[in-house]
Amino acid sequence: MINFNIPPFTGKEPEYMAQAIQNHKISGDGEFTKRCNRWIEDRTGTAKALLTTSCTHATEMAALLADIKPGDEVIMPSYTFVSTADAFVLRGATAVFVDIRPDTMNINETLIEDAITEKTRAIVPVHYAGVSCEMDTIMDIANRHNLIVVEDAAQGVMASYKGKALGTIGDYGCFSFHETKNYSMGEGGCLLIRNPENAEKAEIIREKGTNRSKFFRGEIDKYTWVEAGSSYLPSDMNAAYLWAQLEIADEIYADRMRTWEHYYEALTPLKEAGRIELPVIPEGCVHNAHMFYIKAKDLEERSALITFLKSHEISSVFHYIPLHGAPAGQKYGRFHGEDRYTTKESERLVRLPLYYGLEPEKVQTVCEKITEFYSR
């Protein structure tokens, strides 16, 4: 069986987790959490990185920091994971869905401005497959309309747009270290904060609304409740697990990229024959090989392909069912404009096996079976 995903594992995780335990500091903000935060700050250039219990929680923190209130509207794509909407809907906001671009499956930046009303407070671009949204246009719209930008960069760790790391362009960026992502701590994430002025409030929200972080740094002599907050700190054991992977992040990146390029090259003849479509990486975008997908002609052909691959012991999977058609999407959101591509393109997309350590022979087998499917 060729699995769709095997969570990344480097071999060093047990040793680092044992160290965290021996330090008698497995609660939040221990040595490994600090190392991970610093690594993310150094590698991305963000002013502040705070490890969280998930990307969902990082997005919830961003919604709290942005002071999203009932009745506010937040613009986002419908083709995304539920967390993108949940974080804002929990604050009482309405999710306003805008159509995607068929080439990248990202929010169509040219449709955003038309969806803005006097209630709009934020834009949430989702960098699908680690390929950046058109951020210059999005930031320009946000600046002109005084809107906050929260990047859902769950899939975008180690990817960039015009030389800037994803997650560092908007006011806030959210990473995921879930086991389905390129770097994992089981469950976990990170909030990236562009403006250092927002860092203190973020620390407070993450520490149950207290200024405990300042207290631990010796900046104040007792801590107190100063804001409405919650608990978003991961255990240092999970951070130790992640550290083993961040330490060799470039190697994991290169390994995934080899698989991605292999797929791209081996499947190009089918693309040129007009049978399938391959991912598009716009100029200025450096992706991170988070995902390799192809697009079949339609839903029916996709289902047949998935079944065919399964019969040859290859696991391939489709992805998001657009949020606007889901029960909660109808309750908490609305689609602005026409759904030209969101539903149609999502029904054609199928993701191929891709994980750290996937053997080239297996990649070759997948490509051969897809080619066989299309030559029947």
Ligand X SMILES: *Cc1c(COP(=O)(O)O)cnc(C)c1O
Q: Taking the CB of residue 147, how many other CB atoms lie within 10 A of it?
A: 22
Q: How far is the CB of 109 from ligand X (least distance, A)?
A: 17
Q: How far is the CB of 155 from ligand X (least distance, A)?
A: 5
Residue among 154 and 305 whose Cβ is closer to ligand X: 154
CA distances for 329 relative to 4, 81, 334, angstroms: 28, 12, 7
Length of the chain in terms of residues written = 376
Q: How far is the CB of 232 from ligand X (least distance, A)?
A: 11
Q: How far is the CB of 67 from ligand X (least distance, A)?
A: 21
Residue whose structure tokens are 């942005």: 66
Q: Taking the CB of residue 128, how many other CB atoms lie within 10 A of it?
A: 30
Residue among 180 and 315 whose Cβ is closer to ligand X: 180
Please report, as ranges, the residues that interact with ligand X according to CB under 6 A: 54-56, 80-81, 83-84, 126, 152, 154-155, 176, 178, 189
Q: Taking the CB of residue 191, how many other CB atoms lie within 10 A of it?
A: 31
State the Cα–Cα distance between residues 37 and 22, nearest whole angstrom: 21
Q: How far is the CB of 266 from ligand X (least distance, A)?
A: 26
The closest of 132, 80, 82, 83 to 109, measured between CA atoms, is 132
- Relative to beta strand 94-98, strand 333-335 is parallel
State the Cα–Cα distance between residues 201 and 65, nearest whole angstrom: 7
Residue among 148 and 270 whose Cβ is closer to ligand X: 148
Q: How far is the CB of 320 from ligand X (least distance, A)?
A: 8
Across 19-57, b (16+ Cβ under 10 Å) vs e yields bbeeeebbebbbbbbebbbebbbeebebebbbbbbbbbb
Residue among 167 and 229 whose Cβ is closer to ligand X: 167
Q: How far is the CB of 64 from ligand X (least distance, A)?
A: 16
Residue 104 DSSP label: T
Residue among 62 and 367 whose Cβ is closer to ligand X: 62
Residue among 240 and 370 whose Cβ is closer to ligand X: 240
Residue among 180 and 365 whose Cβ is closer to ligand X: 180
Residue among 30 and 173 whose Cβ is closer to ligand X: 173
State the Cα–Cα distance between residues 90 and 319, nearest whole angstrom: 24
Q: How far is the CB of 156 from ligand X (least distance, A)?
A: 9
Across 361-370, b (16+ Cβ under 10 Å) vs e yields eebebbbebb
